[in-house]
């Protein structure tokens, strides 16, 4: 009995001790919580702070893309996203509601303004357990004007988040080269095509952030600490594009596309001595502001095609370089058998017995076939084409460049390759190959980025420049090939297959091309008057080429060869006038060794110009400068004019005598005056007198003359 009592006492003690120790453990844990900031590796203080901390992204401004003269091609502009506050908590304690109360009425009011249906807006407004919602897609990226329209409605709970969107002020101008961007879910702008994609890392910059303490309604608590890391804006990119040459190219290609209705066409203009791309466009095009895109490939670098007879130039160069070519030797034109195959000249009958020099100007396929049998072989041809850059990428700074193909093995394939059939090339490869003709046999790499600049510091982080790839031909070869290309246009009528490419005031050299298409179902070349790819590869002036022009047109429904020759001649004539090119003198391209860096003159008074010795053209009678051309920090030659637009509305015509065609075009564009230019060189006559008010003019006629006949002002 005594043992049983001791056991009962022990149990009672045990029952008492257990709760005591549990209570003690709880006290120790509470003391630990009060003294320590971590439990199980979690920083409780940081966790508590984070629950009351808000972080906002400070978006980096995407870099601006400019022409070589500083005209804006692509830039960020302010835009807004419409948001709706759904939580009633936002209105607690307030006299006026700050959340959406009337969802149906709000949806009805917003629908026509943000291009969304009432039903789609209501779906967003009826979402459960959300504090706020963005009204996408229509409410994203709206303009300041649209924002003001919505604000006038005074809809409770409707607000805006300021963001950016990419804006292309010239719409479809240079569209495939510039490309376009897309906005990600977290409001980042990403390049999707063209320069925007290729240089996305340069353009994007680095976002910053702002952290601060917030109250229960999400507002910043006054006088509390904030952490701020500033954003780093993206780099600005200046292209080699000359705005006026690009305007000529755009206008002429659009006209030709509408007139001749091809599947597509392209024109590219390059500075022959450097490889700088001065202008390039293709049709159909698109507006990157609305992305009405039919093809996501840039024809300049991504379209491959059988080029046709423009390749004959390089086959002849290969034979000349081999040292075996004999231009005076004759052959029988018309047709030639190669095994079981027959190769015919383009007219099927030929021209009887002709020389190989005449074979080039007549664009004889039989001449090429004989050259590949007598003067060079398959290995020579492939090696020379590759030396010029065909069959491989040029590494031009645009995405999705194709390399083309040099697939030829059998004898008939070799002959076809010699006149541009059975192989594929890209337009930029042709431009690159043509630079060798302009530079005494030295091949240059084409480029389109002039410089990349840090907008904050002005530091040039990348500079585009002339790049020599290889010596591909001797001066003797180039001299001979230029003579042959000259005869294509200016030779005797019976031999001049390119006579329709003659231009005013300057001798152009070049070669035409006509290629057929292979039917994918039959494996044979298609027939019919429209199933051709026509092209022209030219340089001017003849003796010392400064400009390269390459135009290609695929399957034009109308016009035949005129679908290429007419727009090409118009383009070349415009460039000749603009750059003052003729056979006796050099053009405005790089003629001056003295340069002047333009300061930022905007918002300054006119009297600030007293210390600037450069020639200035003042537009308007105001006292304050509101715009300038070229833009600030652009390097110009000492013979270029500086155009300054003032805040005065009274604009009178200046004396344009001895102005260049380029300066006339620039002035007329700035004052929105239609200008008709005749001739080439410098201004000799203007149809309206100096001092005439621009508002009284619908257009002005300008006559240019040769440099050697420059007019003395006042005579």
SS (H, E, C) 285-318: CCCCCCCCCCCCCCHHHHCCECCCHHHHHHHHHH
Q: Would you mind telling me the total number of residues written for the chain in this entry? A: 715
Tokens of 308: 């046709």
How far is CA 46 from each of CA 50, 209, 246, 651, rounded to the nearest angstrom? 6, 18, 58, 65
Predicted confidence band of residue 34 (pLDDT cuts 50, 70, 90): low
Lowest mean pLDDT among 105-114, 204-213, 470-479, 603-612: 603-612
Structure-token pair, residue 538: 């030219």
C-alpha span between 72 and 631 (Å, rounded): 9
Helix (H, G, I), strand (E, B) or coil at 483: helix
212 pLDDT above the threshold of 60: yes
**Residue 46: per-residue pLDDT:** 55
pLDDT in tens, 253-272: 999 999 999 999 999 999 99
Q: Are strands 442-444 and 468-471 parallel, antiparallel or unpaired?
A: antiparallel
Question: In this predicted structure, which of 35-49, 382-396, 597-611, 685-699 has the lowest mean pLDDT?
Answer: 35-49
Reply yes or no on whether 309 is catalytic.
Answer: yes
354: β partners: 331
Q: What percent of the chain has pLDDT over 70?
A: 88
Residue 643's alpha-carbon distances to 170, 446, 655, 667, 692, in angstroms, are 20, 30, 14, 8, 18
pLDDT score, position 216: 65
pLDDT given for residue 610 in this prediction: 77
Report the distance separating Cα 178 and Cα 188, nearest Å: 18
674-678 and 642-646 as β-strands: parallel, antiparallel, unpaired? unpaired
Tally of CA atoms within 13 A in the half-sphere of 508 that contains its CB: 30
The confidence band for 714, taking pLDDT boundaries of 50, 70 and 90, is very low
CA dist., res. 511 & res. 489, Å (int): 8
Band (12; pLDDT cuts 50, 70, 90): low
**How far is the C-alpha of 226 from the C-alpha of 210, rounded, in Å?**
7
If you average pLDDT over each of 126-135, 560-569, 669-678, which comes out highest? 560-569
Quote the tokens at residue 366. 């039989």
For residue 218, the model assigns a pLDDT of: 64
Reported as a pLDDT band with limits 50, 70 and 90, residue 250 is: very high
* Tens-digit pLDDT profile for residues 655-694: 999 998 778 888 887 888 888 888 767 899 999 999 999 9
pLDDT band at 56 (very low <50, low <70, confident <90, very high): confident
Pick from 100, 165, 108, 160: nearest CA to 127 = 100
In this predicted structure, what is the pLDDT of residue 32?
Answer: 62
Q: State residue 357's pLDDT score.
A: 98
- pLDDT, tens digit, 9 for 90 and up, residues 280-305: 999 999 999 888 898 999 999 999 99
Q: Which position among 204, 309, 363, 565 bears the catalytic label?
A: 309
Q: Dump pLDDT digits (tens) for 501-541.
A: 999 889 999 999 999 998 888 888 888 889 999 999 999 99
Find, among 180, 427, 421, the residue nearest to 281 by Cα.
Answer: 427
pTM of the model: 0.76
> Would you give the distance in Å from CA 713 to the centre of its chain?
41
The arithmetic mean of pLDDT across residues 94-116, rounded, is 93
pLDDT band at 713 (very low <50, low <70, confident <90, very high): very low
**Hey, which bits of 62-126 come out as E strands?**
65-66, 72-85
Between 294 and 52, residue with greater pLDDT: 294
Q: Which residue has the higher pLDDT, 610 or 326?
A: 326
């Amino acid at each position: 009995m005594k043992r049983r009592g001791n056991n009962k006492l022990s149990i009672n003690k045990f029952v008492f001790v257990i709760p005591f120790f549990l209570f003690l453990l709880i006290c120790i844990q509470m003391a630990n919580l009060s003294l320590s900031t971590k439990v199980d590796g979690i920083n409780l203080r940081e966790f508590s702070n984070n629950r009351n901390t808000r972080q906002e992204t400070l978006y980096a401004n995407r870099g601006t893309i400019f022409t070589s003269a500083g005209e804006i091609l692509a830039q960020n502009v302010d835009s807004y996203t419409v948001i709706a506050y759904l939580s009633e908590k936002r209105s607690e304690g307030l006299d006026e509601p700050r959340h959406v109360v009337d969802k149906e009425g709000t949806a009805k009011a917003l629908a026509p303004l943000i291009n969304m249906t009432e039903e789609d807006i209501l779906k967003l407004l009826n979402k459960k357990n959300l504090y706020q919602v963005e009204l996408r897609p229509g409410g994203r990226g709206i303009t300041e004007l649209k924002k003001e329209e919505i604000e006038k409605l005074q809809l409770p709970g409707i607000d805006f988040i300021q963001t950016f969107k990419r804006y292309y002020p010239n719409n479809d101008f240079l569209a495939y080269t510039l490309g376009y961007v897309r906005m990600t879910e977290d409001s980042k702008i990403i390049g999707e095509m063209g320069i925007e994609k290729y240089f996305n890392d340069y353009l994007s910059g680095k976002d910053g952030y702002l952290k601060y303490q917030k109250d229960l309604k999400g507002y910043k608590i006054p006088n509390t600490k904030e952490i701020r890391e500033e954003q780093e804006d993206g780099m600005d990119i200046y292209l080699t594009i000359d705005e006026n040459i690009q305007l000529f190219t755009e206008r002429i290609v659009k006209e030709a596309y509408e007139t001749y209705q091809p599947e597509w066409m392209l024109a590219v203009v390059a500075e022959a001595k450097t490889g700088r791309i001065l202008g390039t466009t293709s049709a159909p095009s698109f507006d990157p502001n609305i992305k009405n895109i039919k093809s996501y490939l840039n024809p300049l670098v991504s379209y491959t095609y059988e080029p046709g007879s423009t390749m004959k130039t390089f086959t002849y160069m290969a034979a000349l370089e081999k040292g075996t070519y004999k231009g005076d030797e004759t052959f029988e034109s018309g047709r030639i058998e190669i095994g079981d195959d027959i190769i015919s000249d383009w007219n099927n009958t030929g021209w009887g017995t002709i020389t190989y020099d005449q074979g080039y100007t007549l664009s004889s396929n039989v001449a090429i076939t004989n050259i590949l049998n007598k003067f060079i072989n398959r290995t020579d041809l492939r090696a020379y084409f590759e030396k010029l850059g065909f069959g491989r990428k040029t590494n031009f700074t645009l995405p999705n460049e194709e390399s083309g193909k040099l697939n030829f093995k059998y004898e008939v394939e070799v002959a076809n390759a010699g006149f541009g059939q059975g192989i594929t090339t890209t337009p930029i490869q042709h431009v690159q190959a043509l630079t060798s003709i302009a530079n005494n046999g030295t091949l240059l790499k084409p480029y389109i980025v002039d410089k990349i600049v840090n907008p904050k510091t002005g530091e040039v982080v990348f500079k585009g420049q002339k790049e020599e790839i290889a010596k591909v031909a001797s001066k003797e070869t180039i001299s001979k090939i230029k003579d042959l290309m000259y005869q294509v246009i200016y030779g005797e009528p019976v031999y001049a297959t390119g006579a329709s490419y003659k231009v005013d005031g300057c001798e152009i050299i070049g070669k035409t091309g006509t290629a057929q298409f292979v039917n994918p179902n039959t494996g044979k070349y298609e027939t019919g008057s429209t199933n051709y790819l026509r092209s022209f590869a030219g340089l001017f002036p003849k003796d010392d080429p400064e400009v390269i022009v390459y135009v290609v047109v695929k399957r034009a429904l109308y016009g035949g060869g005129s679908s290429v020759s007419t727009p090409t001649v118009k383009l070349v004539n415009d460039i000749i006038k603009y750059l003052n090119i003729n056979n006796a003198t050099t053009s405005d391209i790089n003629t001056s060794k003295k340069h002047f860096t333009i300061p930022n003159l905007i918002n300054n008074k006119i009297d600030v110009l007293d210390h600037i010795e450069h020639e200035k053209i003042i537009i308007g009678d105001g006292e304050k400068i509101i715009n300038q051309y070229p833009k600030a920090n652009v390097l110009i030659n000492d013979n270029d004019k500086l155009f300054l637009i003032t805040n005065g509305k009274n604009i009178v015509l200046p004396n344009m005598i001895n102005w260049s065609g380029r300066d006339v075009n620039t002035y007329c564009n700035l004052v929105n005056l239609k200008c008709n230019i005749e001739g080439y060189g410098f201004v000799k006559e203007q149809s309206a007198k100096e001092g005439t008010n621009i508002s009284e003019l619908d257009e002005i006629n300008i006559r240019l003359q040769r440099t050697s006949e420059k007019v003395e002002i006042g005579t």
